[in-house]
Amino acid sequence: MTQKTVENATCTFCGCVCDHIGLQAEGDRIVKTKRACGLGEAWFKNHTAEDCYPDALVDGKPATVDEAVEAAAEHLYQANMPLVYGLSNTTCEAQRNAVALAEWVGGVVDSHTSL
Amino acid sequence: MLRITGGRVYDPANEVDGEVRDVCISGGRIVEEVTGADVRTIDAAGMVVFPGGVDVHTHVAGGALNFARAMTPENHRNAAKFTHSPELRAGVGGTTPSTFATGYLYAGLGYTTVNEAAVPVLSARHTHEELRDTPLVDKSCCVLMANNELILDLLEEGETERAKHLLAWHLWAAKGYGVKAVNPGGVTAWKWGKDAKILSEPVPGYSKVTPAKIISSMAAMVDELELPHPMHLHCNNLGAPGNIDTTIETMKVLDGHRAHMAHLQFHSYGGDDWDTLRSESVRLAEFFNEQPNLTADAGAILFGDSVTITADGPWQHLLYQLTGRKWGNLDVENETGCGVVPYTYKGTNMVNAVQWAVGLELLLLINDPWRIYLTTDHPNGACFWRYPEIIHLLMNADFRRECIEKLPDKALKRIHLPGIDREYTLSEIAIIISAGPARALGMPQKGHLGVGADADVVLYNDDSDRERMFGHPRYLLKGGEVVVEEGDIRKMVDGREFIVRPSYDDNIEEYLRPLFEQYYTMSFENYPVEMERLEGADIRECG
Amino acid sequence: MGGKVTCTLGEVKNRADFIIYWGGNPADCHPLHFSRYTLIPKGKHVPEGRKGRTMVLVDVRETPSAKHADILLQVKPGKDFEVITTLRALVKNQPVDAARVAETGLTLEQLQDFVDRMKNARFGVLFFGMGLSMTRGKHMNSAAALALVAELNAYTKFVSMPMRGHGNVTGADVVMRWTTGFPFGVSMSRGYPRFNPGEFSTIDVLVRGDNDATLVLGADPGATMPQPAIDHLARTPTIVLDPKVTHTSRLARVHITTATTGISAPGTVYRMDEIPLPLKPILESPYPTDEEVVHRILEKVKEKPAWTPASYKEVPCA
């Protein structure tokens, strides 16, 4: 099984965003964390890279990512007022793309801040 | 390939003063000649041809400006709107425009290069992310150093050489272009709610480090590192009545070292308090004229809404107390701070009227246009997109007199502007908005139209209403691509980012690491900005 | 009055001798906050660490954070605004009504002592959590807390910081501000950004049924939102990008599994004090990242005939 370690990894679980975490992985899961808090350790250990979910679902049925991307684009394009929401547990790069998408489809873009 | 023909060319760096001649472009650069069937010709008859504008001092990206955006959504509601199209991203203008709008608004003046003047190392990653989303202009950044406590600690111990290596390391870590000094010692004092107002007195928390020592040592470091841009200096006592003495003292302390004096308007006041405030532009200009080591930008103000954003935290607290308006403050660990206060300059207010006059007076009284540049310290004195108003004031003494007549009487005896008849020529305008700042930034490919220069070219209608003329370029070429055509922005192109790699002793990292781990709250490895984050980086090796 | 007087977390570590947590429970929700950033570490100007600092916890109940506090001020639920307003008056030596103070669950002596300590601090900081910003008074409470701190600067150095949860919600604010000019709740329906909380905030939009499709990423509103909002998500086409099949995925028309942020997906996130940090993913995911999937959806949209927004001037005025 492949082993890998990363030092100074960044934990995204809470707003502290601690970036001094040591990680050790075996295969497709993290087996050890250093310097993480209880929440961080659980976060790292509970998210594996296993292939345990369907790539995509369209109308409840398994689909390819291409099909799902096509369906998503069509729904958002056809909508008069689409909403892009969330943006918390994701990267700034994805957020940046999400704003661009909202702009292209003429929708609303919003985050957890408005709650 | 492209040929601009029939226009009157103003290229002061190459001593071209309004001659009708062709400008040829190929491969993004100015070339001697272009031939062949695929050469596009732009008929510039009736137009003047300038090198693209260069803003030597502006605040358009990064943590402080983005903080101001959060604080002033009301300023965006009635601002210019930029509507989405397949070619252009949407945006809003106003006092703190969104990044895409910033690019459009600069292009809408004929500007093609901007220098973001205040970047903390700790959040430099953020600044670069925003600059990547600022289209149509090339960019550079000045990195805040004069309140970096790790550097000041070394100055306290007399370890100037090591301090220089540390400064160089930080500049590269931030992927910056120049060194910025803001209120040297005063920002770190502000972390205890204090200021550093007297150049010869120790900075709170230090016994040997004075503002004077920071200024002179840091200017010397920048010179020794052979950075293309001199130390970019925001003097102590910004905005305060009587600060002329500090400003002149600062120039003396520099003792022949190069420096760029930022937003000089805010540092040229006499008087003892707000009631006795007066212009000291004559005294300042006379002294400055004799200092060939120095350049400056005006930091002019215009009446209307602005947002003041500066690393000068103590000044912003005072401004908040004076105005009773919103106040934002963001101290950055070990490095710097910033304050944000919305402000409205009023033509009926005596202090604001004096400030308005001082900015123009400095531009008119400093006799070498190669050493004084047009800025408003955007968005502090006014928004950059109002530069054409200032150009009109500089070029038309009659219009200036009309404006002076509207000032409050009690301001008139405190200013020198009514007695100044000078009018700028087009060639001098080309110097203060392009050729001069490009030279001060040490960017040989900018600010001129000689062979080999970047093909950043702007065509304006020759219009006696200079405000309309400079606010509505007919054509703008960025790196040889036509981005503004018949007054409309036609496409978005990405700009480059200029950065420097100064030489430093690699061992400095071993000195820094344990201190960093003790005093900072992020991992040392995650501190430097990764090279991959910059799109189109143009690296200059120094020293 | 408005704005925010704040700093990065290292300033607190290096300088703060007086730390207030109000309406938050970092011991459970931000477990490393005390030890890495604020209370416990030795700072440049607080070399004695914990011993050099005083911590006050203000909350409606005694949470596990209380054992870290030197002083616990237990406020009656819903009375935070009244307490802050009283503190603002006491800071300025204004008279206050003792009977009204009693309604807050605290005594005038306690509050006067609190104010004296704040004013005598060398460097004070107020962290406020959702117990202040999401309870009765909501953003009015936050605004009052921010004003209190700003006003304290007439006497000493004082800063404040919201204790933001949810990983990179800070990044969402930051990115939206630079791309659109506004921090959240932005409508692009006229082709340019407009900001109007209440009109363009998600719960309002969903509960009113204003929108007719939703893309959800980095959130699971199906598990947390009011039922009418969830009903609307189920009624209209909803698309979910998430590392797991979530509650929202189950009511969505489209779900796409994506790589987990920071574990498998690279990029940038912002800390609560708006410091950007790089991610260092360790596991290679079989799934694409959010960044990539949103980009692919955008590219598909771009292939369709361009939607042209109505000109601003053509929108009829009522």
B290-313 pLDDT tens trace: 999 999 999 999 999 999 998 888
Beta-carbon contacts below 8 Å between B and C = 176
Helix (H, G, I), strand (E, B) or coil at B417: helix
Q: Are A42 and A63 in the same domain?
A: no
Q: Nearest Cβ partner of B522 from A19, A92, A104?
A: A19
Query: Where does the pLDDT of residue C1 fall: very low under 50, low under 70, confident under 90, or very high at 90 and above?
Result: low
In this predicted structure, what is the pLDDT of residue C139?
87
User: Is A15 inside any structural domain?
Assistant: yes
User: Is A89 inside any structural domain?
Assistant: yes
Q: Give the CATH number of domain B49-489; options: 3.20.20, 3.40.1000, 1.10.10, 3.30.70.
A: 3.20.20
Q: Are A71 and A107 in the same domain?
A: yes
Touching partners of A (3+ C-beta pairs < 8 Å): B, C
Chain B residue with Cα closest to A22:
B523
Q: Nearest Cβ partner of B317 from C15, C122, C153?
A: C153
Task: Tell whether A20 is within 8 A of chain B (Cβ).
Answer: yes
CA proximity to C6, closest of C168, C177, C158:
C158
Residue to mutate among A19, A92, A108, with most B CBs inside 10 A, is A19
Q: What ipTM did this prediction achieve?
A: 0.97
Chain C residue with Cα closest to A16:
C271
What does the domain layout of chain B look like in residue ranges?
Answer: 49-489
Q: Are A35 and A70 in the same domain?
A: no
Task: Tell whether C25 is within 8 A of chain A (Cβ).
Answer: no
In this predicted structure, what is the pLDDT of residue B229?
98
Q: Are A69 and A93 in the same domain?
A: yes
Q: Are A41 and A79 in the same domain?
A: no
Q: Which two tokens mark C9?
A: 């977390």
User: Is A68 inside any structural domain?
Assistant: yes
Give the number of domains in chain A.
2
Q: Do A76 and C213 touch (CB under 8 A)?
A: yes
Chain A residue with Cα closest to B524:
A8
Q: Do A8 and B525 touch (CB under 8 A)?
A: yes
Task: Tell whether B85 is within 8 A of chain C (Cβ).
Answer: yes
- Strand segments, DSSP code E, in C12-122 are 18-22, 54-59, 71-74
Q: Do C178 and B331 touch (CB under 8 A)?
A: no
Task: Tell whether A19 is within 8 A of chain B (Cβ).
Answer: yes
Q: Are A64 and A110 in the same domain?
A: yes
Q: Are A65 and A109 in the same domain?
A: yes
pLDDT at C32 over 90: yes
Q: Do C4 and B328 touch (CB under 8 A)?
A: yes
Q: Are A68 and A95 in the same domain?
A: yes
User: Is A51 inside any structural domain?
Assistant: no
In this predicted structure, what is the pLDDT of residue B10?
98
Helix (H, G, I), strand (E, B) or coil at B169: helix
pLDDT in tens, B347-387: 999 999 999 999 999 999 999 999 999 999 999 999 999 99
Task: Tell whether B521 is within 8 A of chain C (Cβ).
Answer: yes
In this predicted structure, what is the pLDDT of residue C311?
47
Range(s) of the domain holding residue A99: 56-114
Residues of A in contact with B90 (CB under 8 A): 103
pLDDT in tens, C131-173: 998 888 888 999 999 999 999 999 999 999 999 877 899 999 9
Q: Do C262 and A12 touch (CB under 8 A)?
A: yes
Flag the least confident range among A107-111, B329-333, C161-165, C230-234.
C161-165
Residue of higher predicted confidence among B194 and C125:
C125
Q: Nearest Cβ partner of B326 from C2, C153, C174?
A: C2
Q: Are A70 and A21 in the same domain?
A: no
Residues of C in contact with A79 (CB under 8 A): 211-213, 236-237
Query: Where does the pLDDT of residue C314 fall: very low under 50, low under 70, confident under 90, or very high at 90 and above?
Result: very low
User: Is A23 inside any structural domain?
Assistant: yes
Q: Are A8 and A26 in the same domain?
A: yes
Task: Tell whether B322 is within 8 A of chain C (Cβ).
Answer: no
User: Is A64 inside any structural domain?
Assistant: yes
Q: Output C60-69 pairs: Cβ under 8 A, ≥24 positions apart.
A: C60/C23, C60/C131, C63/C25, C63/C27, C63/C28, C64/C25, C64/C27, C64/C28, C65/C21, C65/C24, C65/C25, C65/C26, C65/C27, C65/C28, C67/C27, C68/C27, C68/C34, C68/C39, C69/C21
Q: Are A95 and A72 in the same domain?
A: yes
Q: Nearest Cβ partner of C297 from A53, A76, A92?
A: A76
Q: Do C179 and B327 touch (CB under 8 A)?
A: no
Mean pLDDT of B27-39: 95
pLDDT beneath 70: ranges in chain A: none
Q: Identify the burial level of C134 via C-beta atoms within 10 angstroms of its C-beta, where 0-12 means exposed, 13-18 middle and 19 or more buried.
A: middle
Query: Where does the pLDDT of residue B74 fall: very low under 50, low under 70, confident under 90, or very high at 90 and above?
Result: confident
Task: Tell whether C158 is within 8 A of chain A (Cβ).
Answer: no
Q: Are B199 and B212 in contact (CB under 8 A)?
A: yes
pLDDT in tens, C60-100: 999 999 999 999 999 999 999 999 999 999 999 999 998 89
pTM of the model: 0.96
Q: Are A38 and A83 in the same domain?
A: no
Q: Do C268 and B129 touch (CB under 8 A)?
A: yes
User: Is A94 inside any structural domain?
Assistant: yes
Mean pLDDT of B154-168: 98
Task: Tell whether B193 is within 8 A of chain C (Cβ).
Answer: yes
Q: Which domains does chain C have, with CATH numbers?
A: 9-162 (3.40.228.10), 169-305 (3.40.50.740)
Return the number of other C-beta atoms located less than 10 Å from residue C243's C-beta.
23
Conformation bin of residue B101: beta by default, left when phi > 0, alpha when psi is -120 to 50: alpha
User: Is A82 inside any structural domain?
Assistant: yes
